[in-house]
Amino acid sequence: MIEDTLVKPMRILLVDDNPNNLKVLSEAIQGHGWKALMANDGESAIEQAEYAHPDLIILDVMMPGIDGFETCRRLKANSITQHIPVIFMTALSDALDKVKGLEIGAVDYITKPFQQEEVIARLKLHLKISHLTRTLEQQVEERTAELTQSLQQLQHTQLQMIQSEKMSALGNLVAGIAHEMNNPLGFISATLKQAKPNIGDIIEHLQLYQKSFPNANEEIINHAEEVDLDYCIEDLSKMIDSMVMACDRIKNISNSLRTFSRGDRDYKQPFNLHEGIDSTILILKHRLKANEHRPAIEVFTEYGNIPEIECFPGQLNQVFMNILANAIDALDESGAGRSFEDITANPNQITITTFVAEKQVKIIIADNGVGMSEEVQEHIFDHLFTTKGVNKGTGLGLAIAQQIIADKHDGEIDCLSNPGKGTKFVISLPI
């Protein structure tokens, strides 16, 4: 029997205004090992059902106050009692009344005068159905939880694969470009440095000719005026210096590319976060420059005295890249509809701050863009969630960023934002 399989005996709430009916039903129920709860009107039945949570209710239809139909309606409208099976007990034989009771949530009818054997048989049936239903619901909930966990694990693995493949491909590409740049760059730089003293010797030799033969012919004088010889001599050295500086600039860019694409090993390694941030800013510099729609975006770095941390440098650089790229997108969006002069008066800005607090390195990346609503903030780290238009965002950037910070580095990444007041990302990494 059902009651033998459970730790607690089944509890059945009997609701009838006739004390004799309650007594007979109570004795029959207790004779089968069930526990009888009793109420003599609808109001007390509802109150008792809320705190006692019976396994089944036998409910008389004709009662003073609220009748059985209204009592059943209230029980089914209450989230606490709506799942308790209700069996109506009535002397009414009209089929319409029975249909009415079934429509409002009853599972069965017992007709007065009742036979104890029939009542017990029906109770056994509906208690068994109720038990099976609860067991099935529990199994469905457990299976749903398992499927949800499997889906989350699948998404987690997918993010790892995407992030790994992306960083691997990007790292190989950038490292290859940086390597190929370095060969001709080294040749140009070395040649310029060697050419400068040679050109100086040639100019000095030319000046000796001018002193030795001060009376130049008309053709030489005219040509000197035509090419502005004095200016050429003065400017040539500056041109060489400018080209050497340009080579140094390209070399810095190449080094930044190599820093950004720094390959991660299977274990963490010491890394200067400021170098990673600087290299990311340099790579994004083309997006920060002024265009026909807005002036240049200003980037301010307020670096504190932070130590190197054990981490996966390439992965953290990708986090910086994702957040800074999103900040630029937000500032471009905030500029839509504003005049060039208005943006100049209230410039677009990104501020990056680092400091140590509570044995953690804090990196704050803040912009004064459009900001986000509370609803959007709740989903920005969700897999495939994006507010950008078609072909403008994958919805993976911040999901990957959170995975890198939380799962790979035992850190935290939080977002603070208000519409029209900008957005601030706070990254916390353990030292």
Kindly list the domain boundaries of the chain, sorted by start residue: 2-114, 156-261, 265-431
H/E segment holding residue 325: helix 313-335
Where does the pLDDT of residue 263 fall: very low under 50, low under 70, confident under 90, or very high at 90 and above? low
Q: Please tell me the predicted confidence (pLDDT) of residue 2.
A: 45
Neighbour tally for 348: CB within 10 Å: 24
pLDDT at 147 over 80: yes
Can you list the alpha helix ranges (DSSP code H) found in 213-312?
218-227, 229-260, 273-283, 285-288
Q: Is 99 helix (H, G, I), strand (E, B) or coil?
A: helix
Distance CA 146, CA 6 (A): 26
pLDDT at residue 307, rounded to an integer: 94
Mean pLDDT of 45-61: 88
Question: Does residue 268 sit in helix, strand or coil?
Answer: coil
pLDDT score for 97: 66
- Bridge partners of 56, per DSSP, are 12
pLDDT band at 148 (very low <50, low <70, confident <90, very high): confident
Measured distance CA(168)–CA(397) in Å, rounded: 16
8 Å CB contact between 24 and 116: yes
Q: What distance in Å separates the CA atoms of residue 328 and residue 321, rounded to the nearest whole number?
A: 11
As a whole number, mean pLDDT of residues 363-373 equals 90
Choice between 164 and 342, residue whose per-residue pLDDT is larger: 342
Predicted TM-score (pTM) of the model is 0.49
User: Phi, psi at residue 15, to the nearest 5°?
Assistant: -125, 110
pLDDT, residue 165, reads 61
pLDDT, residue 262, reads 58
Q: Could you tell me if 255 and 248 are in contact, meaning their C-beta atoms sit under 8 angstroms apart?
A: no
- Overall average pLDDT of the 287-297 stretch: 87
Instruction: Give the model confidence (pLDDT) of 384-404 as tens digits.
Output: 656 555 445 545 678 878 888
User: 299 is written with which tokens?
Assistant: 């980037």
d(CA 355, CA 212): 67
Q: Band of the pLDDT at 381, cuts 50, 70, 90?
A: confident
Encoded tokens for 141: 């909930």
Domain made up of 265-431: CATH architecture = 2-Layer Sandwich (3.30)
Give the tens place of pLDDT for each residue, 319-366. 898 899 889 988 888 877 788 888 888 889 999 999 999 889 999 999
Which candidate, 348, 339, 388, 344, places its Cα nearest to that of 367? Answer: 348
Residue 91 scores a pLDDT above 80: no
Among residues 64, 60, 69, the alpha carbon closest in space to that of 119 is found at 60
Listed in order, strand segments (DSSP E) in 47-182 are 56-60, 86-90, 108-111
> Is pLDDT above 90 for 412?
yes
- pLDDT greater than 90 at residue 287: no
Max avg pLDDT among 181-185, 235-239, 245-249, 421-425: 421-425
Q: State pLDDT tens for residues 216-262.
A: 788 888 888 888 888 888 778 778 877 877 777 777 767 666 666 55
Residue 207 has what pLDDT?
A: 83
Average pLDDT over residues 30-57: 86
CATH 3.40.50.2300 corresponds to the domain 2-114: yes
The per-residue pLDDT for 161 is: 67
CB of 86 closer than 8 Å to CB of 44: no
* All residues at 6 or more sequence positions from 72 whose CB lies less than 8 Å from its CB, including other chains: 59, 86, 88, 101, 104, 105, 106
The answer, yes or no, to whether the previous bond of 9 is cis (omega within 30 of 0) is: no
